[in-house]
Amino acid sequence: MNIQYLPVVAVSISLLAVPLIILLNKKPNLREAVSLLAGVVKLGCVIALVPHVLNGEQIEIVLWEFEAGLPIAFRVDGLGLLFAFVAASLWIVTTAYSIGYMRTTKSKNLTRFYSYFAISLAATLGVAFSANLLTLYLFYEALSLATFPLVTHNGDGEARSGGRRYLYFLLTTSIGLVLPAMLYIYGQVGDLNFQPGGVLVDSGMSQTTLLVLLLAFVFGFAKAALMPFHGWLPGAMVAPTPVSALLHAVAVVKVGVFSILRIITGIFGTDFMAQVNWHEIVTWVAAGTVVISSLIALSQDNLKRRLAYSTIGQLAYIILGASLLTDRAVTGSSLHILMHAFGKITLFFCAGAIYVASGKKYISQMVGLGRIMPWTMAAFLIGSMSVIGLPPTGGFVSKWLLLMGALDARMNAVVVVYLVSSLLNAAYFLPIVFRGFYVPGDDPTKPVKMKEAPLWCLIPLWITALISIALFFLSDTAIRLIEVFLGVGV
Amino acid sequence: MSDVLTFIISRFNYWIYIVLMMIGLYAMIAKRNYVKKFIGMSIFQTAIILFYVSTGVKSGATIPILEHGHDIGHAAAAINPDHYANPLPHVLMLTAIVVGVATLGVALAVVQKVHDQYETIEEPEILFKLGQE
Amino acid sequence: MKVFAFVLVIVTGIMLVVTAADFPAWGDAHSPPNQYLSTHYITQAEHETAVPNMVTAVLADYRGFDTMFETAVVFCAGLAIAAILGHEKKKRYVVRRKALPKTEEGDIIIRMATRFLVPVTQLFAMYVIAHGHHSPGGGFQGGVILAATFILMTLAFDLKTILGRFSEKMTLIWANVGLFIYAGIGVLCVLLGSRFLEYSALHKILPGTDEIMARSHSMLGVEIGVALTVMSMLFAIYAHLVSKGRLEDGL
Amino acid sequence: MSENLPFLVIAAPLFGALVASLVGWARPRYCYAIAMVSLAAGLTAAIALLVKVSGTVSGYEYRLGGWPPPIGIQHWVDPLSALILVVITAVAFLAVMSARANLQLELPGKERFVYPLMLLMVTGLSGMTLTGDAFNLYVLLEITSLSSYALVAIGRGRAAASCLNYIIMGTIGASFYLLGVGYLYLKTGSLNMIDLRQIMIAGDMHGSQTVITGFILITVGFWIKMGLYPLHGWLPNAYSFAPHAASNLMAPLMTKVSVYVSLRMMLSVFTPDFLAVHALWAQTALLVATIAIIAGSLIAYSQTDVKKLLCYLVVAEVGYMAGGMWLMNRAGITGTIYHIAADAFMTCCLFLGASGLIASTGSRHIRSFRGATRRMPWTFAAFLVGGLSMIGVPPTCGFFSKWFLIQGAIEGGAWHFVAALIFSSLINALIFFRIIELAYFKDVEHEDDVSHPPQVQRNEAPWGIRIPLFITSVVIVLLGVFSPRVINWIERFVDSVGVT
């Protein structure tokens, strides 16, 4: 098969699975097997692409020409492939996890759930492989719409209001900010392709226009949850945990930061953006988001909400790194997409496992939980370490590169932000582990009985935890991919 | 002064049509009784018809029917266009008259139906009764 | 509302008055509308269509397409009024009398005068239709006069009686026939290998005519069609309006 | 015969109307078949015309009565009119297809009137699209209006009362147009559109007060006819209280054709150069359109009656097109024309969906959407396609028209219009997600008790409504997917009239 078609297959395989999933409505086992199978094929496609990209091959395919010079097209590069790999691999794990979670919690409408899950993944990969801004925008919107039924899956009042807020935020910003900005660029430059040097270099736009465009994109991709457009994320935590885990720790939010990375590298170009006056605004907004969200996270008692605010902070890390515009910082933020994904999904899985096994949602209830669920809490520790950035987990590598990048940029304040926020991360994660293991439960006299989550939950979360550790040792390939993309060496 | 007077008098057809048309327009908007509104509509349309027809007038010309029409032997060159009024506005307005009649008929039919339903043809009363539904 | 209407009327009126200053004066034979097309119609109509009445020539031939839709407007209005006011269809036309009633209530002078007037008026209407080529008249005018005779009869006698002679069904059929004649002549031209309403093509089937006379004769056919539709539909409109659609008793 | 295609498009529904009115007297149930056959013939002819035009450079003329223009009346078929003609006949075909099911529920026994009137209306609309004569257009406009007055007034309840204002406003609009044409005639002595354009250019009349007033009268007349806010007063009541069979036909077509004619007048009779001289007009029109979009969207958002809601959406959409045509640049005009086609199908889809919903639930309150995904999944899905297109979600056609309109507005520097377009997209999103939420989560009996979803019975719309609804929703997507070809086609026209 021609290599060109591989990205198309990777995107569409989960769409093809949807009719099968719907047809197998009455046979849950087969239905979930189909989901898993599609995930494996998808991941296979993505992995098959890796050597080609490392060789520097151009993999490009035009699906459909909308207007002369404005196609819906895919192009695979290192950054996109890295992101696609994250999404595809985690889909498999999450599918496995959701089998355990959803069956144990006796959720309804699982066919709908798996169908939209598959569609969301297709949209995510579409974003990853987009060759131009229009394609990216279309898949971005498709993702917003496809995840809405997932967010509101429970169908009760809370889910509905969360879902409403979710859509309002995402659609308002993308239609209100990104679309006009994109159209303006298209009207002025006539080109929306992501190019290494950016497309705006020779546009002759005024500094003010450029700044407005930049801000429109950075805030318009509200999936990145940069403050003050972060409000949807904690609200969307009403979704079932697998959804929160995959979509709100990985796919959806990462699509947001990925889009912003694309804008900075492909539309503005890092070199050109450095010439834009006041581009530091992005840096400061991101830095502010990092600190503020970490502080808010400290005050949250609901575990999933705490994770949500932590996510907001970590996403801002990535944008912060990218806005520094040095090679190492951009590499670090690209890598952080990968590292944070595995760390955070582990944490979400743990939160879900705790809920499934014990019905506990609040951190204050989780006293002594480490003895009841030692495996889960151990994995939680690994996930926390990765998010905080402690070796030997993958999070350390990316945070290290981010720090180095900040030093390269001679932004000492940013270095301080990174360090402070890492401390805050530690401050809001480690007590959970500590209380879980060392503080005795409600009734110390009662003998503790182990009551773990079902295996379908436990195995996936350990897989992701182990991968978090493995990434510490295997970060080379990922960095190579990014280097190929950026055309630099670190 | 006499220039102004000449100007005004030489265009008296337009002043008449404008006045009539505005009367009609006013009645259509301001009157509350629907039959009166439709009378206004009729005046409005008639004013336009008047405007059209008056554009076809030529001083001293006769109706646009060829004299000695049967006698084709008269050469076409003998026909003096200034001798006959312009036939085109007449044709157009015949159509407009028919349209006006048709519209008025439909409008009156609707008024009758409304009267059957609400037993009034005054706009405020109809609105009042609609509000009560 | 009144203030609003007044302001609107004043503003529109001023706009129109200001514009009227730009208009040609009354009776100006050299104004654009009296020159360009008008001259062609006046000088060429007789040549091209063999109809001395230029209004008829323009109406039924040059702008015959307009006139067809004008007839369709009348047809549409009749249908519309029947649709709006019409009640469920029932057997209403049981009264079918051969002759006009002799002992109805009402003024005998009016009834007798009507009996006398109607045939004469109808004859005159037919003259207006047929002689429309040469004198003022034509399908619309004749049709309206015909409709007026029926209206006169309903005024003198009563609606039910007249509907017994010219029922709703018959008005519909005649209106249809009229429009069919008009559009049918147009289609016939197409079938004879020409364009829609290009009457000159009909000389192929009309004996003893050339292309120009064919136009003249076809116009007569068209006018008859118009007259039929106008007659029946105007009467139907009247009948519906005066009886609130019940078609039983009215004025 | 292929030369006679333009007349065939018009003659098919006209003869259909005649036959249907006759046959309907004795056998009302045959009316439907007659109407469908004649509309199918019209559609076929329109498509054939489209194919025929694709071979020519700028279009071709058809002389009615064989008289050369400006002496006689002329049909002018160019890429634009051929495209709009296909849209009109196709939408009419689909809307009339749904009429039988609606009429059986609403107005049994009136078939013999409704079908001929609908056919006459389609005749008028097709004629307006084709005609190249300004006065002929008035006659066709009136036949369209008359039949639509009747179709509204024939309904039960408040229909007749709301028709009264419709007649008054409609007559004012048409009369303004007639007067405007009279002004042009007074200045040029001609009625043929192409001839008018040439005389005005040759005589350098663009500065003449008469021509300017004529243009204003024509434009305002069509603003009333298309229901541009704040002249929209008649539209929501007339369309929402009309019988569904009628509003399914009128709502998609009447406003669109008025927009088309207005655009035709601006581009083909008055030239872009003429409009460029009076820059103030464009600013005013854009401002009015902006207000129309915002007001229409906001009022739509506050409605609880499904059909009223859709009507106000139509008002907002009219603002899109009325503003888009005044952008006077390539993207803006292209977007406007594409939106005429797209919006016709979108509105048709939504109205068909609404009538299907009303047919199966008996209520027109927005609450009747509750549990629609369970009770009528297919009907609702098709309705939703129309809704997504209104929001502007690709690959539906609504996205592409918005793309071009916004692009045109940005090029023209009309930022308030950009803002209004985006605002209306957002409001549309809110409206339709509110409906989705109702349909998705709320069940009929147990409003908030989702833990025990009741066994709801399938209650789909009748097949007579569902089939055209499905076709329409498919067309919406196809029109989006094949938008490059459509856009190319439109740009051929836009380039030919010299818009840059």
What are D206-244's pLDDT values in tens digits? 888 899 999 999 999 999 999 998 888 889 989 989 999
Q: Considering only CA atoms, which of D247, D260, D267, D401 is closest in space to residue D310?
A: D247
> What is the total count of domains within chain D?
1
Residue B71 lies in a domain: no
pLDDT tens per residue, range A207-233: 888 888 888 888 888 888 888 888 888
Q: Supply the range of the domain harboring residue B113.
A: 11-57+82-132
> Does the global pTM surpass 0.80?
yes
pLDDT category of residue A311 using cuts at 50, 70 and 90: confident
Q: Which residues numbered 38-97 in B keep a CB inside 8 Å of some CB on C?
A: 54-61, 63-66, 69-70, 72, 76, 79, 81-82, 84, 86-92, 94-95
The 10 Å Cβ neighbour count of residue A454 is 16
The chain-wide mean pLDDT, for chain D, equals 88
Interface contact D139-C66, CB threshold 8 A: yes
Task: Say if B25 is an interface residue toward chain D (CB within 8 Å).
Answer: yes
Q: Tokens for D413? A: 């520097």
Q: What is the CATH number of the domain that holds B121?
A: 1.10.287.3510
Task: Say if D495 is an interface residue toward chain A (CB within 8 Å).
Answer: no
- pLDDT for position D341: 93
Task: Say if B13 is an interface residue toward chain C (CB within 8 Å).
Answer: yes
Predicted confidence (pLDDT) at residue D36 exceeds the cutoff of 70: yes
Which residue did the predictor score with more confidence, D371 or A297? A297
CB A281 within 8 A of CB A215: yes
Nearest to A175 among D394, D426, D484 (CB): D426
pLDDT category of residue D447 using cuts at 50, 70 and 90: very low
Tell me which chain A residue has its CA closest to the CA of residue D441: A155
Residues 6+ apart with CB under 8 A from A339: A386, A393, A394, A395, A397, A398, A468, A471
Q: Tokens for A380? A: 């939680």
Residue B16 lies in a domain: yes
Nearest to C5 among B7, B26, B79 (CB): B26
Q: What is the mean pLDDT of residues A124-130?
A: 89
Q: Considering only CA atoms, which of C227, C37, B81, B94 is closest in space to residue D133?
A: C37
**Interface probe with D: pick from B45, B46, B58, B114, most Cβ of D within 10 Å:** B114
Task: Say if B114 is an interface residue toward chain D (CB within 8 Å).
Answer: yes
- pLDDT for position B39: 94
Alpha-carbon distance B50 to nearest alpha carbon in chain D (angstroms): 11
| Chains touching D (3+ CB pairs < 8 Å) | A, B, C
CB A293 within 8 A of CB A378: no
What gap in Å lies between CA A377 and CA A429, rounded to an integer?
12
Nearest to D113 among C69, C75, C83 (CB): C83
What gap in Å lies between CA A166 and CA A164, rounded to an integer?
5
The chain-wide mean pLDDT, for chain A, equals 83
pLDDT tens per residue, range D37-52: 999 999 999 999 888 8
Q: Looking at mean pLDDT, say which of A106-115, A265-274, A335-344 comes out highest.
A: A335-344
Residues 6+ apart with CB under 8 A from D233: D165, D169
Least confident interval from A386-390, C13-17, D424-428: A386-390
How far is residue A241 from each of residues A145, A237, A296, measured CA to CA in Å? Answer: 19, 8, 21
Residues 6+ apart with CB under 8 A from D466: D356, D378, D379, D382, D460
Predicted confidence (pLDDT) at residue A490 exceeds the cutoff of 60: no
> What is the total count of domains within chain B?
1
Tell me which chain D residue has its CA closest to the CA of residue B52: D182
Residue B45 lies in a domain: yes
Residues making up chain D, counted from first to last = 500
pLDDT tens per residue, range D42-81: 999 999 988 888 877 677 888 888 888 888 898 888 888 9
Task: Say if D230 is an interface residue toward chain A (CB within 8 Å).
Answer: no
Q: Looking at mean pLDDT, say which of A132-146, B81-95, D163-177, D198-212 comes out highest.
A: D163-177
If you ran DSSP here, which 8-state letter would residue A362 be given? B
Task: Say if B57 is an interface residue toward chain D (CB within 8 Å).
Answer: no
Predicted confidence (pLDDT) at residue C207 exceeds the cutoff of 80: yes
Alpha-carbon distance D369 to nearest alpha carbon in chain B (angstroms): 23
pLDDT category of residue C249 using cuts at 50, 70 and 90: low
Q: Looking at mean pLDDT, say which of A39-53, A58-72, D90-104 comes out highest.
A: D90-104
Residue B4 lies in a domain: no
Which residue did the predictor score with more confidence, B29 or A52? B29
Predicted confidence (pLDDT) at residue C94 exceeds the cutoff of 50: no
Q: Supply the range of the domain harboring residue D451.
A: 296-500
What gap in Å lies between CA D257 and CA B40, rounded to an integer?
28
Residue A376, Ramachandran bin (φ over 0: left; ψ between -120 and 50: alpha; else beta): alpha
What gap in Å lies between CA A79 and CA A486, rounded to an integer?
9
- pLDDT for position D174: 94
Interface contact A180-D392, CB threshold 8 A: no
First to last CA, chain C: 36
pLDDT category of residue A489 using cuts at 50, 70 and 90: very low
pLDDT category of residue A442 using cuts at 50, 70 and 90: low
Residues 6+ apart with CB under 8 A from D2: D48, D52
- pLDDT for position D35: 92
Which residue did the predictor score with more confidence, D124 or C103? D124
What gap in Å lies between CA C44 and CA D394, rounded to an integer?
59
Q: What is the mean pLDDT of residues C44-62?
A: 87
Interface contact D153-B126, CB threshold 8 A: no
Interface contact D14-C72, CB threshold 8 A: yes
What gap in Å lies between CA D149 and CA D127, rounded to an integer?
18
**How many Cβ pairs closer than 8 A exist between chain B and D?**
74
Question: Which residues of chain C does B89 touch, with a Cβ-Cβ cutoff of 8 Å?
Answer: 33
Predicted confidence (pLDDT) at residue A399 exceeds the cutoff of 80: yes
Residue D6 lies in a domain: no
**Interface probe with C: pick from D1, D3, D7, D172, most Cβ of C within 10 Å:** D7
Q: Considering only CA atoms, which of A111, A100, A148 is closest in space to residue A453?
A: A100
Interface contact D72-C62, CB threshold 8 A: yes
What gap in Å lies between CA C214 and CA C197, rounded to an integer?
12
Low-confidence ranges of chain B (pLDDT < 70): 1, 68-78, 133
Q: Tokens for D320? A: 């899109």
Paired strand residues for B65 = C53
Burial of A281 (0-12, 13-18, 19+ CB in 10 A): middle
Question: Which residues of chain D does C18 touch, with a Cβ-Cβ cutoff of 8 Å?
Answer: 209, 213
Residues 6+ apart with CB under 8 A from D1: none
Residue D305 lies in a domain: yes
Interface contact B109-D175, CB threshold 8 A: no
Interface contact A164-D433, CB threshold 8 A: yes
pLDDT tens per residue, range B68-92: 655 555 555 567 888 888 899 999 9
- pLDDT for position D339: 94
ipTM for the whole predicted complex goes beyond 0.95: no
pLDDT category of residue D33 using cuts at 50, 70 and 90: very high
CB D19 within 8 A of CB D31: no
Run of H or E residues at A63? strand A59-67
Tell me which chain D residue has its CA closest to the CA of residue B49: D179
Q: What is the mean pLDDT of residues D109-124?
A: 91
- pLDDT for position C205: 87
What gap in Å lies between CA A223 and CA A230, rounded to an integer?
8
Question: Which residues of chain A does D440 touch, with a Cβ-Cβ cutoff of 8 Å?
Answer: 149, 152, 155
Q: Cα torsion for A24, A30, A35, A36, to the nearest 10°?
A: 180
Interface contact D64-C195, CB threshold 8 A: yes
Inter-residue long-range contacts of D51-58, CB under 8 Å, 24+ positions, other chains counted: D52/D2, D52/D5, D52/D77, D52/D82, D53/D77, D53/D78, D53/D79, D53/D82, D54/D79, D54/D489, D58/D496
Residue D103 lies in a domain: no
- pLDDT for position D15: 93
pLDDT category of residue D287 using cuts at 50, 70 and 90: very high
